């Protein structure tokens, strides 16, 4: 094919790409598009996952304290060890002396409660690893939740089921406001509030009845300043 040689390059030029290159290029393009969509989906999944929220994870503890045994089997009332849950912002953690009310009598010499004995002797507290934690900008008050019919198990899960304490709920804001927007369905009857296990049967009262019973004013629950100030 004869054309003006001045403006032509070598006519026997190799083609730049092969059919394989087209395939690779198209696959890469598709992959890039997928990456954009996929990374968003992955991020969503990650930040809503139990891994991120630590749901179901039991951190190691200095003493292998079993809620299953104490709360589930022995049916010790939650308030026995968390005494200020009805009156204060914090539920209260049992002091060494609280534990010793029983354990000065029973299992006093077991290896398992050695740290307790050491704490009592040395006066230095037992350092537990936190299971449930809210960020600093959240102002949470246990007492008002109990007063308005939110049972322990609603947020902490079936603590009487597992030996080591595990986180029962994600405690992310989406989860919090889920209840604050529609609290009725999550309330429990007064008798169930301190059960270590969620009752198998739904409460006898309807959500509306429970809301009325506890005088829950739902309007303020979703105000930002209810939890953040």
Partner 1 sequence: MAATSQDPGSSAPARWRSIGELNGLANEGRDGGDEFPPGASEWPEGLDRRSFLKRLGASLALGGLGGCMRRSNGRIVPYVIPPENAHPERPEYYATAVPVEGYARGILVESILGRPTKIEGNPDHPESLGATDAATQAAILDLYDPDRSRVPLRAGLTSTREVFAAEWAQFLSARPAGQARIALLTEPTTSPSLLREVGLMLDAFPNALWFQHTPLASYEVDGLQPDYDFSKAGVILSVGSDCLYRHPACVRYARGYAAGRRVVDGRIAASRFYAIESSPSVTGVLADVRLPASPPRMRVIMGAIDKALLGNSSWQAGLGAQESDFVGRLARDLRANGQRALCVAGEEQPMDVRRWTASLNGRLGSEGSAFRWLASARSDSNQRSRGDARALRDAIAGGAVEALVVLSSNPAYTSVALRGVIPAISKLPFSVHLGAYADETAGACAWHLPEAHFLECWGDLRAYDGTASVLQPLIEPMWNGLSALEVVRILRSGTLPDSYQIVRECWRDGAAGDFDERWNRWVRLGVADSRAAAGARAPRGPVAAPDSSTEAPGLSLLLAPDSNVLDGRSANNAWLQELPRPLTRLVWDNAALVSPSLASRLGVEDGDVIRIAARGGLVEAPALVMPGQATDCIAISIGYGRWRAGSVGNGVGFDAYQVRPDDGTWGIEGIEVTTTGRRHRLVTTQHHFAIEGRNTVRTVDAVSLVLPKPPPRTSLYGGWPRNGNAWGMSIDLSTCIGCSACVLACQAENNIPVVGKDQVSRGREMHWIRVDKYFEGAPDNPRFLSEPVPCMQCENAPCELVCPVGATVHSSEGLNDMVYNRCVGTRYCSNNCPYKVRRFNFLNYRAPADSIINLQKNPNVTVRERGVMEKCTYCVQRINAARIDAERENRPIRDGEILTACQQACPAEAIVFGNIADPSSRVSARKAEPTDYSLLEELNTRPRTTYLAKVLNVGETAS
Partner 2 sequence: MSGAPFGTVAAFGDERSFLDAIAKAQKAGFRRIETFTPHNVEGEAALLRRRPTPVSWIMLAAGILGGAGAFYMQWYAVHDFRHLIDVGGRPVDSWPSFIPITFELTVLTAALVGTAAMLWLAGLPRLDHPLFGSAGFERASQDRYLVCVLAEDPRYTPAAARDALLPAGPEAVNEVTK
Partner 3 sequence: MKPSKNLAEGDPEAELLADGETPASVTRSISAIPIDNPRPRFWWAVFGAAFLVVLLLCASLGWLFVRGVGIWGINIPVAWGFAIVNFVWWIGIGHAGTFISAILLLLHQEWRTSINRFTEAMTLFAVACAAIFPVIHLGRPQFLYWLLPYPDTMDLWPQFRSPLVWDVFAVSTYGTVSLVFWYVGLMPDLATMRDRAKTKGWRRVYGLLCLGWRGEGRHWNHYTKLYILLAGLAAPLVVSVHSIVGLDFAIAMLPGWHSTIFPPYFVAGAIYSGFSMVLTLVIPLRAVYGLGNYITARHLDLMAKVMMAMGWIVAYGYFCEFFTAWRSGDVFERYVAANRVIGPYAPYFWALMICNIVAPQFLWSPNLRGCVPVLFVVALFVNVGMWLERFVIVITSLHRDYLPSSWGIYHATFWDYSTLAGTIGLFLALLFLFVRFLPMISMSEIRTLAAKREASK
Contacts with partner 2 by CB under 8 A lie at 1-3, 7-9, 11-19, 21-22, 25-26, 29, 177, 181-182, 222
To the nearest 10°, the Cα dihedral for 16, 20, 22, 25?
-110
Q: Which listed option, partner 3, partner 2, partner 1, none, makes contact with residue 172 (CB within 5 to 8 Å by class)? A: partner 3
213: number of Cβ within 10 Å: 14
Question: Chain-centre distance of CA 173, in angstroms?
Answer: 10
Nearest to 12 by CA among 1, 4, 25: 1
Minimal distance in Å, beta carbon 227 to partner 1?
9
By three-state DSSP, how is residue 167 classified? strand
Does 98 contact partner 1 by CB under 8 A? yes
Cβ partners under 8 Å of residue 221, min gap 6: 180, 181, 183
Per-residue binder mask for partner 3 (CB under 8 A), 162-201, x = binder: ----------xxx--xx-----------------------
Which listed option, partner 3, partner 2, partner 1, none, makes contact with residue 87 (CB within 5 to 8 Å by class)? partner 1
Residues of span 193-222 touching partner 1 by CB under 8 A: 215, 217, 219-220, 222
Judged by CB, which is closer to partner 1: 61, or 198?
Answer: 61
81 CB burial (10 A radius; 0-12, 13-18, 19+):
buried
Binding letters toward partner 3, positions 9-48, x by CB under 8 A: -------xx----x--x--------------x---x--xx
């Amino acid at each position: 094919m004869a054309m003006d040689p001045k403006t032509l390059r070598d006519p026997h030029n190799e083609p730049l790409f092969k059919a394989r290159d087209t395939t690779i290029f198209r696959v890469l393009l598709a992959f890039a598009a997928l990456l954009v969509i996929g990374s968003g989906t992955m991020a969503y999944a990650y930040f809503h996952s139990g891994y991120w929220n630590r749901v179901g994870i039991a951190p190691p503890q200095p003493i292998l304290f079993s809620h299953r045994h104490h709360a589930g089997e022995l049916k010790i009332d939650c308030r026995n060890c968390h005494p200020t849950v009805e009156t204060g912002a914090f539920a209260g953690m049992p002091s060494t002396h609280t534990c010793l009310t029983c354990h000065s009598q029973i299992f006093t010499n077991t290896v398992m409660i050695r740290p307790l004995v050491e704490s009592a002797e040395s006066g230095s507290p037992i350092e537990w690893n936190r299971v449930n934690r809210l960020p600093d900008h959240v102002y949470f008050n246990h007492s008002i939740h109990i007063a308005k019919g939110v049972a322990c198990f609603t947020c902490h899960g079936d603590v009487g089921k597992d030996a080591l304490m595990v986180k029962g709920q994600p405690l992310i804001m989406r989860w919090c406001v889920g209840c604050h927007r529609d609290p009725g369905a999550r309330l429990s009857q007064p008798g169930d509030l301190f059960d270590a296990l969620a009752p198998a049967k739904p409460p006898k009262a309807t959500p509306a009845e429970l809301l009325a019973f506890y005088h829950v004013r739902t309007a303020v629950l979703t105000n930002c300043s209810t939890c953040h100030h």
